């Protein structure tokens, strides 16, 4: 999978889950290693596409409202 495709797939996946998903679920859905998914999530967060917050031991990621689309 190419870098841009992975980022697009993460954005599409989060678009279908308004309440957000933990990074582990993003990884499972896209058949990625959790560490790989984390790197892409961090890059998307830094670019302003998504936001993440702590929930227990998990990071829940959602599309950023009013952010880039």
For the chain, give every domain's residue range: 3-63
Q: Give the C-alpha separation, 61 to 21, whole Å.
A: 5
Query: Does residue 50 contact residue 61 with C-beta atoms inside 8 Å?
Result: yes
- pLDDT of the residue at 2: 81
Please give the distance of CA 33 from its chain centroid, rounded to a whole number.
Answer: 13
pLDDT > 70: percent of the chain: 93
37: three-class secondary structure by DSSP: helix
pLDDT in tens, 31-43: 999 999 999 999 9
Domain covering 3-63 assigned CATH 1.10.3470.10 in the classification = no
Residue 63 Cα distances to 22, 28, 39, 60, angstroms: 12, 18, 16, 10
Q: Which two tokens stand for residue 54?
A: 């702590």
């Amino acid at each position: 999978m190419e870098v841009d495709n992975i980022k697009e797939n993460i954005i599409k996946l989060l678009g279908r889950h308004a309440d957000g998903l933990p990074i582990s679920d993003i990884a499972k859905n896209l058949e990625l290693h959790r560490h790989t998914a984390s790197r892409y999530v961090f890059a998307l967060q830094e670019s302003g596409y998504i936001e993440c917050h702590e929930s227990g031991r998990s990071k829940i990621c959602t599309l950023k409202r009013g952010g880039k689309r």
